[in-house]
Amino acid sequence: MAGEFEGKVVIVTGASRGVGLGIARRFLEEGASVASCSRRQVAPPAFAAGIPDGAERSVHWVCDQRDFEQIDSFVTRVVERFGRLDVLINNAGGAPTTSTTEVSPRFHKATIENNLTGPMWFALRAHRQMIAQESGGSIVNISSQASGQGGSPTLVSYGAAKAGLNHLTKSLAKEWGPKIRVNCLSLGHVVTEMWREYIAGGDPANEEKLARMIPLKRFAQPEEVGDACLFLCSPRGGYINGATVVFDGGLT
């Protein structure tokens, strides 16, 4: 992308594996400095492997996004390390499929905190930094097709939280423009270890069946989600604001 992200500083939450790892790697490959976080320590960041000077431009620290004080400390530490914050990718989240009535209320509470409340806390803290910068910033929230109007049985609290994230995106975009753009990616099937376990059930036959339902006849890779984030956060996507972009190969 012609060096558009050289010198930029990006936070990608939940980048120790899966989609977040793919997103973080793409920003790092395009010249950005990338700070990632998760609830467990990862050293060195896996997304920096094999990238020239990637280790110098990346950090991974522990942060539980359900705790605003941890978020505040994490963002402060990132700015102290790299000097600014240009992009926030709210990726951390997820939930296993489960019978809605057979899990505890604590499960549903934690799911909503992890997929809606936490990203909102991160966006609020990022805003404090971005609004003070002349160049502002860009935020992308990672949602899911489980948020669709058709409902999401066995993913009830997760789908509801992601639907809330879609709405949060529109509201923040209207309130924070023109200095800070806020958009959303609503993901379909992206190949990760968690996807293979919870959605495909570890069965290659299930994967083949799911792939046949998609007009493109394949699943997305985490790095492709990263490419979409790069576009939304670059000047090329500079007039896109408040959008929830469907990223599902035409499935819906």
Q: Looking at the annotation, which residues are catalytic?
A: 158
Q: How far apart are CA 43 and CA 50, in angstroms?
A: 15
Exposed (0-12), middle (13-18) or buried (19+): which is 5, by Cβ within 10 Å? Answer: buried
Beta-carbon neighbour count of residue 226 at 10 Å?
Answer: 25
Alpha helices in 30-136 (DSSP H): 68-82, 105-112, 118-130
Question: 50's torsion region: left (phi>0), alpha (psi -120 to 50) or beta?
Answer: left
Query: Cα separation of 77 and 97, whole Å?
Result: 35
First vs last Cα of the chain: how many Å apart? Answer: 29
d(CA 126, CA 212): 40
**95-124 b/e with 16+ CB inside 10 Å = b?**
beebeeeeeeeeebeebbbbbbbbbbbbbe
Using the 8-state DSSP alphabet, how is residue 114 labeled?
I
